[in-house]
């Protein structure tokens, strides 16, 4: 469903939209109604800090988008309680969600008053077109992940399981997380071909590393 006048969505509306998809998929329990949105399973607690993606307003680079993070006492409080935090951006126009690498956030967030995290409008459009989780490497080396908002629960579990060493046993039943299993069953050449098909922006080195990391996940 395309939202009319969707650029003017408020953050509270975006939080409610994402919360609705999380509840619908049943992968997480939603434990708060605010932003950051606290969610949990029987194995872990997690918080999603949700921001609207806008233009970065670079005159010569119109494809660059961003979110802005502000010094946040609620995030500091979550970190003090050792609750993992994922930063999730939402683009109302394309209906894509973007997740930035947690390690990059930790090194920047709450270190100064304002932090910008970047994406690309073209990648957001691509990521929103299927239920697969897509990746894109920014010029600073950060690898961002994107998907349509309807599969945000899968995207969150994918990032959490790989960055926080959190097992997501129910996730494997959803099909979206069987990437490691599928790749393990293929020959190297077939697996690399599949990776390039799903991630056309990858270099050969990216594809080899992706294959290696997925096979290690089994």
What is the chain's pLDDT, residue by residue, as a tens digit (218 residues)?
Answer: 343 344 678 999 999 999 999 888 777 888 887 888 999 877 778 899 999 999 999 989 999 999 988 776 777 777 667 788 899 999 999 999 999 988 777 666 656 667 889 999 999 999 999 888 999 999 988 899 999 999 998 899 888 888 876 655 344 433 343 455 556 656 666 677 777 667 766 677 777 777 777 665 44
Q: Where are the domains of the chain?
A: 6-170, 178-218
Distance CA 141, CA 152 (A): 23
Q: What angle, 0 to 180 degrees and rounded to 10, lies between the N-to-C axes of helices 204-216 and 188-198?
A: 110
Query: What's the start-to-end Cα distance of the chain, in Å?
Result: 36
């Amino acid at each position: 469903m395309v939202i009319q006048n969707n650029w003017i969505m408020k953050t509270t509306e975006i939080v409610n939209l994402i919360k609705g998809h999380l509840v619908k998929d049943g992968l997480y329990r939603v434990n708060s109604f605010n932003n950051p949105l606290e969610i949990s399973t029987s194995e872990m607690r997690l918080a999603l800090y949700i921001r609207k993606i806008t233009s970065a307003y670079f005159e010569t680079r119109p494809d660059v988008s961003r979110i802005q993070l502000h010094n946040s006492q609620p995030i500091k409080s979550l970190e003090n309680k050792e609750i993992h935090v994922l930063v999730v951006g939402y683009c109302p126009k394309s209906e894509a969600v973007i997740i930035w690498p947690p390690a990059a956030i930790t090194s920047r967030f709450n270190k100064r008053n304002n932090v910008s995290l970047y994406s690309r409008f073209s990648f957001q459009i691509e990521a929103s077109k299927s239920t697969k989780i897509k990746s894109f490497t920014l010029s600073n080396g950060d690898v961002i992940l994107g998907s349509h908002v309807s599969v945000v629960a899968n995207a969150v579990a994918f990032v959490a399981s790989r960055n926080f060493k959190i097992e997501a046993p129910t996730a494997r039943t959803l099909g979206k997380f069987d990437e490691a299993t599928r790749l393990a069953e293929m020959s190297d050449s077939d697996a690399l071909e599949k990776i390039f098909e799903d991630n056309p922006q990858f270099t050969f080195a990216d594809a080899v590393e992706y294959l290696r990391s997925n096979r290690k996940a089994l």
